[in-house]
Amino acid sequence: MDTRPATRRTPSVRRWAAYATCVWTLAGYGTLKLYWALGGTALISSAPLPRSAREELVAQTPGTIAGHWISVGLVVVGALAALATVRPWGRVLPRRLLTVPMWIIGCLMVSRACGVLGFGFIGDVMVLTGSVHVGPSDMEVARSLSRVDLLLWSPYFLVWGLLWGATAWATPVRRPPVRP
> Is pLDDT larger for residue 134 or for residue 128?
128
CA distance 70 to 75: 9
Q: What is the model's pTM?
A: 0.84
CA distance 13 to 172: 11
User: Which region holds residue 40: left if phi is over 0, alpha if psi is between -120 and 50, else beta?
Assistant: beta
Write down the pLDDT at residue 9. Answer: 43
CA distance 36 to 169: 32
Q: Is 90 exceeded by the pLDDT of residue 151?
A: yes
Closest CA to 170 of 95, 112, 104: 95
